[in-house]
Structure 1
Amino acid sequence: MTTNAELIARKSAAVARGVGTRGIYATRAENAELWDADGRRFIDFAAGIAVNNTGHRHPKLMAAIAEQAQAFTHTCFHVAPYESYVALAERLNAATPGDFEKKTMLVTTGAEAVENAIKMARAYTGRSGIVAFSGAFHGRTLLGMALTGKVAPYKKGFGAMPPEIAHAPFPNPLHGVSEEEALRHLERIFASSVDPERVAAMIIEPVQGEGGFTIAPKGFLLKLREICDQYGIVMILDEVQAGMARTGRMFGCEHAGVVPDLITMAKGLAGGFPLSAVTGRADIVDAPNPGGVGGTYAGNPLAVAAAHAVLDVIEDENLCVRADEIGEKIRARLTTIAARQGMECIGEVRGLGAMNAFELVTDRATNAPDAPLTAAIVAEAEARGLILLSCGTRYNVIRLLPPLTIPMEQLDEALNIIEASIEAAVQAAA
């Protein structure tokens, strides 16, 4: 049997260096568990980066895919369309916030959803400017990384970015950026850098993903909605990571009661199959000319079948409620750990539903980032059988993304590993 070490060597020789990986080569997975090429078992707190909200290989999802595969696997929706695509669009139109006529288009990746939302906004407004936010992540394509508010590794070395994109500060009191200061800075951008009447869209994550699971304050999102209405700007909420019940609501923006013009979604939408969507106001979605949006693999029948199953599971198993239960348990445990003597390295515990994180600092007075300790905790947890991911613009945040279907005893096991890993890493750093 091929080992992890052998696969690492083969990857180094055959795969592009820029494709970053871990040393865990998966051979099988089930719900919240994963086994690697060395036969080691892991609890998966990455869930494919918030993709497997319904767990690995959920039976309803697997059955739906098998049934679709017996009919056909690909026709290209532009060539020979199919009812399941239309039905999924109808379900997403109904599921997203907003009491107005909506339409949906399906594509393949989160970046595609974001780019098509921008295209729709530009076609609708006749404008070209875009406002994004610091710490944002909107994809790895040229426009996606231009919108992204983090240089390394996403922009570093890739040259000039597309023009007419301005970045405003994302509120983060821990880092000294209040909601009020972020709004003042946005006003300065409109006064000195870009005419708001030239701005087609403003795009923001209700909970930043790669930026460190920082939650956009309710008042801030509501104010952005007012600003967009004032200047005729299309408000796009990027729900690629926060959507599909992850935060305890179907969409993260529901916590703030904000209704965007367009919502982008992907990741958890199809439980591991490549599918993304843009849903929003019908007049905006319809702005591009026929043929102006789409793609060969957009709305692949197998991925669409998986998405229907995911939506069924979210409803049938009350996964929004389950996300809240999981999140409350995680935050309570982390808060208890942070309150202990010697755990001053935990600068903040935060989250919504089952989208949680803790930030590592050298001291709580300055909140200076402790990236080495963050990496050490992730490595220690992996050695103990738990997959964790780091994030944040300062590389000092650990995000926790268990499947929403994780058994509670496995959640407890994972939290025990996290506590032991923090203790071991802190002791080794002392």
Structure 2
Amino acid sequence: MEAKQGTSAMIAIAFIPLVMVLGNSMLVPVLPTMKAKLGLSQFQTSLMITLFSLAAGIIIPVVGYLSDRFSRKWVIVPSLILYGIGGIMSGLAAWLMENSYTMILIGRIVQGIGAAGTAYVAMALIGDLYSGAQESKALGIIESSNGLGKILSPIIGSLIALVTWYAVFFTFPVLCFAVAAYVWFGVKEKKKMEEKSFFQYLKALKQIFKNKGRWLIPAFFVGSAGLFILFGVLFYLSDVLEETFKIDGVLKGSILAIPLFGMVVTAYITGAKIKQNKPLIRKVMVAGLVILTGSMFGVAFFKQIYLMIGLLTLGSIGTGLLLPCLNTLITGAVEKAERGMITSLYGSVRFLGVAFGPPLFSWLMKISHKTVFLSMTGVSLATLMLSLFFIKPGIKNKGDTTEEHGPTTLFRKREKAPT
């Protein structure tokens, strides 16, 4: 019974990050065309990514609390529907309005609010339904599904844009509504979470950060930095391929998908292999950051397209090693009653990384190619230092008298998954 539900639930849940990531990634290859059609500056264009991600980052902690207080599904399903409605708003504005930029941005904000209740609540749901090695593998699948969305998105976005550039907005509702129905009927969870008042909840959250904040907060930052670099690089690469190398359409989408393919394959393998091995998780995480740092440094000195794509793919492989490790540590850091809030706070920080990537890359691009990637080398090196010296699950903050053997629920016996 458990295995049967686990398989059905996993398929349904895996579609959630796949749909969520389309919100940004499918627009990436279309951004230069949108810029030309609407007469936008580079910064205005970057806001299409930034405002979506900023809205999601702000709202995620709220939906995390709601998912803990009531039900994961009762948050995920309405969020997917809202996500689709935002796409309809942006698409209709681009199609029917003469000066549509502002209305498109409003639709993107609505999409971001909807996206807030999707992938990171799904991570908490994974923690509810699975345990032990199954959980690590499932989290790897979630990250791979996220990556698969990133691989397919540039290609799908480029293909849809052959009809018209704003057609991508009308793709979201179809996918969102279908996945919402699949999750509603395909996932079974406990009817009710343990009830806590909001103030009790905040008190529990404060205690979590008091006990584990010394490694948990740096882990949040490292995850955010990884997404900051990834989306900044995609924004940069989309512009360079079109402006410098005159590569457009499906070919550009396919090239953008190459680094992401390296990430998704690596994330899947990593999630399947790390299991609950805390020393291995730290080693893999550090190795990923070393690879990412080295690739960013190498790209700074090369603008030849094949070398640049190769080095950026190597950096994405480093990201693929990093993210499943962080997901496993953070998802298992707390008991189930607070898990939705913690994973959602993590998601909020990651979305903020995505939000600031494109505008900062837009500013750095005005200086030089070398400035862009030497700056990213510095960011990656800082995250490597944090991982080496601070992300050590099992260490205690001063004054913590609770016993901690790594992430609490990850490395000790859990409740059985619901049947």
Instruction: Please classify the TM superposition score into its range, dividing by the shorter chain length.
Output: under 0.3
Higher strand share: 1
| Larger of the two Rg values belongs to structure | 1
TM-score (normalised: structure 1)? 0.27
Greater relative CO, 1 or 2 (CA 8 Å, sep 6+): 2
Higher helix share: 2
